[in-house]
Structure 1
Amino acid sequence: MCRTFVPRRLSRSLRFYSTILPVLGQYVVRPWLHSIGLEEKTGEELADEMDDWGSKQLQETLLSLGGFYVKTGQVLSTRVDLFSKPYTDRLRVLQDSLPPVDAAEIRDIVSQELCGGKGLSELLREFDDKPLGTASIAQVHRAVLNDGREVAIKVLRPNMEPVLRGDVANLKVFALATRGRLPVDYYPVFCELERALDGELDFLNEAQSAMKVAASIRHDPLGRELDPPLVVPQPIPGMATRKVLVMDFIKGTPLSRLEERAKELGIDLGSKAGKVLGRRILEALTTAYGNMIFSSGFIHGDPHPGNIFVLEGGRVALIDCGQVCQLYREQRLLVAEAILAAAAYDGSRKMIQMLADCVRNFGVTFFKGQEDEDACAASVALYLFGEKDVEFPGGYSKEEFSDKSPLRQLSSFPMELVLLGRASVLVKGVAARLGVEWSVAKKWEPLARDAIVAVCDEDECRLPAWALPTASHAATSSERLRLGDAARGCAALIRRWGMEKAASVFAARRRELAKEAPGRGEK
Structure 2
Amino acid sequence: MFARLFRQGTALKAPARRAVSTGGDGGKTIGGARIFGRVASLLAVSSLGAYTYQNEHIQRTSYLATKLAPVVLSYYYIKLKTSAFGLSREEEREMMKDFHNDWYALPLEIILHLRGFYVKAGQVVSSNPNILPEQYIKSLRVLQKDVPPLPSSEIRKIIEKEMGIDDVDEVFESFSEKPIGAASIGQVHTGTLKDTGKEVVVKVQYPEVERFFSVDFRTTLFILGFINENMVEIVKGIQDNFMKEFDYNREADNLKLMEDHIEAKAGMFDNVVFPKVKRELCTRKVLVMEKIEGETITEMGERLLEDVVRVGGFKNKTEFRDRVRKSLRNPDKQQEFIESYGKLSGALEKAVGFSRVLLSLRNSIYGLCGGAYNSTRILPYFFGKAEPKMFFVPPNGPSLMRLLWDVHGYQIFNIGAFNSDPHSGNILIDSSNGAVGLIDYGQVAFLEEEWRANFARYIIAIDDENKAEVHRLWGALGNKFLWKVTGEINPVDETFACALCHFGGPPGIMKGIKMLKFNSIKDIGSSLNDKIKIIDCRPEYGMLQRCCFCLLGVAQQVGVFGQGTVPCKMLRPAAERYLTSIGEMVKG
TM-score when normalising by structure 2: 0.66
* Contact in 2 for aligned 1:229/1:288 (Cα 8 Å): no
Superposed, 1:164-179 pairs within 5 Å as 164-176=213-225, 178=226
SS at match of 1:139: strand
Deviation at 1:17, TM superposition (A): 5.8
Q: Which residue of 2 aligns with 1:430?
A: 554
Deviation at 1:340, TM superposition (A): 0.8
SS at match of 2:279: strand
Q: Which residue of 1 aligns with 2:534?
A: 410
* Contact in 1 for aligned 2:116/2:185 (Cα 8 Å): yes
Deviation at 1:337, TM superposition (A): 1.4
CA RMSD of aligned residues (A): 3.7
Provide closer, same or farther for how the CA distance between residues 89 and 360 of structure 1 changes in structure 2, counting only shifts above 3 A: farther
* Contact in 2 for aligned 1:364/1:412 (Cα 8 Å): yes
Alignment partner of 1:382 is 2:500 = yes
* Contact in 1 for aligned 2:420/2:543 (Cα 8 Å): yes
Provide closer, same or farther for how the CA distance between residues 503 and 268 of structure 1 changes in structure 2, counting only shifts above 3 A: closer
Alignment partner of 1:14 is 2:65 = yes
Alignment partner of 1:357 is 2:357 = no
> Which of 441, 452, 455 is the matching residue for 2:579?
452
Alignment partner of 1:210 is 2:255 = yes
Q: How many Å separate the matches in 1 of 2:84 and 2:310? A: 40
Provide closer, same or farther for how the CA distance between residues 139 and 268 of structure 1 changes in structure 2, counting only shifts above 3 A: same
SS at match of 2:150: coil
* Contact in 1 for aligned 2:78/2:95 (Cα 8 Å): no
Deviations 1:497-518 (A, max 9, x none): xx4xx213xx5xxxxxxxxxxx
SS at match of 1:8: helix
AA at the equivalent of 2:282: A
Q: How many Å separate the matches in 1 of 2:188 and 2:286? A: 10
Deviation at 1:261, TM superposition (A): 5.8
Q: Which residue of 2 aligns with 1:120?
A: 168
* Contact in 1 for aligned 2:304/2:558 (Cα 8 Å): no
Q: How many Å separate the matches in 1 of 2:463 and 2:222? A: 39
Deviation at 1:305, TM superposition (A): 3.1
> Which of 135, 155, 158 is the matching residue for 2:183?
135
> Which of 167, 191, 203 is the matching residue for 2:236?
191
Q: Which residue of 2 aligns with 1:512?
A: none
Deviation at 1:85, TM superposition (A): 5.6
Provide closer, same or farther for how the CA distance between residues 167 and 142 of structure 1 changes in structure 2, counting only shifts above 3 A: same
Q: How many Å separate the matches in 1 of 2:574 and 2:412? A: 9
Deviation at 1:237, TM superposition (A): 3.1
> Which of 378, 398, 410 is the matching residue for 1:291?
410
Provide closer, same or farther for how the CA distance between residues 428 and 31 of structure 1 changes in structure 2, counting only shifts above 3 A: farther
Q: Which residue of 1 aligns with 2:481?
A: 366
Q: How many Å separate the matches in 2 of 1:102 and 1:137? A: 15
Deviations 1:186-206 (A, max 9, x none): 222332333223311111111
Q: How many Å separate the matches in 1 of 2:69 and 2:261? A: 44
Q: Which residue of 2 aligns with 1:348?
A: none
Q: How many Å separate the matches in 2 of 1:27 and 1:231? A: 55
* Contact in 1 for aligned 2:454/2:477 (Cα 8 Å): yes
More relative contact order in 1 or in 2 (CA 8 Å, sep 6+)? 1
Q: How many Å separate the matches in 2 of 1:141 and 1:109? A: 13
Q: How many Å separate the matches in 1 of 2:264 and 2:132? A: 36
Q: How many Å separate the matches in 1 of 2:85 and 2:558? A: 35
Q: How many Å separate the matches in 2 of 1:21 and 1:412? A: 34
Deviation at 1:60, TM superposition (A): 3.3
> Which of 101, 107, 110 is the matching residue for 1:58?
107
* Contact in 2 for aligned 1:78/1:304 (Cα 8 Å): no
AA at the equivalent of 1:399: I
Provide closer, same or farther for how the CA distance between residues 39 and 404 of structure 1 changes in structure 2, counting only shifts above 3 A: closer
> Which of 287, 300, 307 is the matching residue for 2:426?
307
SS at match of 2:507: coil
Deviation at 1:279, TM superposition (A): 3.1
Q: How many Å separate the matches in 1 of 2:431 and 2:407? A: 19
SS at match of 1:117: coil
Q: How many Å separate the matches in 1 of 2:75 and 2:263? A: 44
Q: Which residue of 1 aligns with 2:365?
A: none
Deviation at 1:94, TM superposition (A): 1.3
* Contact in 2 for aligned 1:232/1:318 (Cα 8 Å): yes
AA at the equivalent of 1:382: L
Provide closer, same or farther for how the CA distance between residues 344 and 19 of structure 1 changes in structure 2, counting only shifts above 3 A: farther
> Which of 60, 63, 88 is the matching residue for 1:37?
88
Structure 2 residue runs of 5 or longer lacking an equivalent are 1-51, 312-350, 356-393
* Contact in 2 for aligned 1:332/1:451 (Cα 8 Å): no
Provide closer, same or farther for how the CA distance between residues 194 and 14 of structure 1 changes in structure 2, counting only shifts above 3 A: farther
Q: How many Å separate the matches in 2 of 1:320 and 1:424? A: 16
Larger Rg: 2
Deviations 1:157-212 (A, max 9, x none): 11222122221121122122x1xx42x62222332333223311111111001112
Q: Which residue of 2 aligns with 1:480?
A: none
Structure 1 residue runs of 5 or longer lacking an equivalent are 346-350, 458-498, 508-523
Q: Which residue of 2 aligns with 1:472?
A: none
Q: How many Å separate the matches in 2 of 1:16 and 1:410? A: 34
Q: How many Å separate the matches in 1 of 2:282 and 2:569? A: 39
* Contact in 2 for aligned 1:301/1:324 (Cα 8 Å): yes
SS at match of 1:389: helix
Deviation at 1:433, TM superposition (A): 4.7
* Contact in 2 for aligned 1:376/1:396 (Cα 8 Å): no
Deviations 1:205-227 (A, max 9, x none): 1100111233455567xxx7732
SS at match of 2:440: coil
Alignment: residue pair count: 444
Q: Which residue of 1 aligns with 2:439?
A: 319
Provide closer, same or farther for how the CA distance between residues 74 and 15 of structure 1 changes in structure 2, counting only shifts above 3 A: farther
Provide closer, same or farther for how the CA distance between residues 395 and 380 of structure 1 changes in structure 2, counting only shifts above 3 A: closer
* Contact in 2 for aligned 1:253/1:261 (Cα 8 Å): no
Alignment partner of 1:279 is 2:398 = yes
* Contact in 2 for aligned 1:217/1:289 (Cα 8 Å): no
* Contact in 2 for aligned 1:131/1:140 (Cα 8 Å): yes
Deviations 1:388-438 (A, max 9, x none): 223227444472642565994423322101110011111223334555222
Q: How many Å separate the matches in 2 of 1:83 and 1:433? A: 22
* Contact in 1 for aligned 2:251/2:442 (Cα 8 Å): yes
Q: How many Å separate the matches in 2 of 1:217 and 1:86? A: 43
Deviations 1:217-251 (A, max 9, x none): 5567xxx7732453322211311111111012134
Provide closer, same or farther for how the CA distance between residues 169 and 128 of structure 1 changes in structure 2, counting only shifts above 3 A: same
Q: Which residue of 1 aligns with 2:569?
A: 442
SS at match of 2:402: helix
AA at the equivalent of 2:127: T
Q: How many Å separate the matches in 2 of 1:234 and 1:357? A: 42
* Contact in 1 for aligned 2:406/2:574 (Cα 8 Å): no
